[in-house]
Amino acid sequence: LAKTTQPISMDSYEGQEVNITCSHNNIATNDYITWYQQFPSQGPRFIIQGYKTKVTNEVASLFIPADRKSSTLSLPRVSLSDTAVYYCLVETAGTASKLTFGTGTRLQVTL
Amino acid sequence: DTGVSQDPRHKITKRGQNVTFRCDPISEHNRLYWYRQTLGQGPEFLTYFQNEAQLEKSRLLSDRFSAERPKGSFSTLEIQRTEQGDSAMYLCASSLGTSGRMGWIQYFGAGTRLSVL
């Protein structure tokens, strides 16, 4: 399974757009990228998932370049409630097996 | 509310005691997972079930740990002869396997925080 690398922490002001980039140089053809969000004392929560190009849902966008060696989670106009740890994961399609989390990116949003 | 329920939310026990945690997945989800998370780290996989069958166990799951999922519904995770190193958050997740889907999204419960004194 491809290893992921993402920044340990990021800071942002409320109302700004936040982009968190994840590196996954060894991603395989059947792998896809998934992001989870975790608040303190809660379990992780699915945010978004993609294979290539751009995916957008009601909370975030995911940008994946053509070589798929990295991906960027974009959070528009963050608020204080977006303060959390964000995990980038690479999974192999159709396996439905365990998730391999790294240490994630701790996003701190302030006024 | 993700729909995955874990009980208890907190458990304090003395070293050497046995503890059991329960997880109720989202109904109709056929896969159930257990993870362990320590402070500052991401969740680590322990084991998972498809229906009632336990399909994979991590090496983290020593012989003091046992998990069951009778009848393919709720699951229990038991830790025997607890040690201080077992102190962690134990997370349960469930997913619905649908063939052809890109990813089988896992829905997590709020976890059970175990403190071993």
Residue in B50, B106, B107, B113 to test binding to A, most A beta-carbons within 10 Å: B106
Task: Report pLDDT for A95.
Answer: 62
Does pLDDT of B1 surpass 90?
Answer: no
Cβ of residue A46 closer than 8 Å to a chain B Cβ: yes
Dihedral, CA atoms, A4, B89, A40, A54, nearest 10 degrees? 30
Measured distance CA(B105)–CA(A57) in Å, rounded? 15
* Residue A82, φ and ψ in degrees, nearest 5: -85, -5
The verdict on A49 touching B (C-beta cutoff 8 Å) is: yes
pLDDT of residue B100: 54
B22-70 residue pLDDT tens? 999 999 888 999 999 999 999 999 999 989 999 888 888 889 999 999 9
Contact across the interface for A93 and B48, Cβ inside 8 Å: no
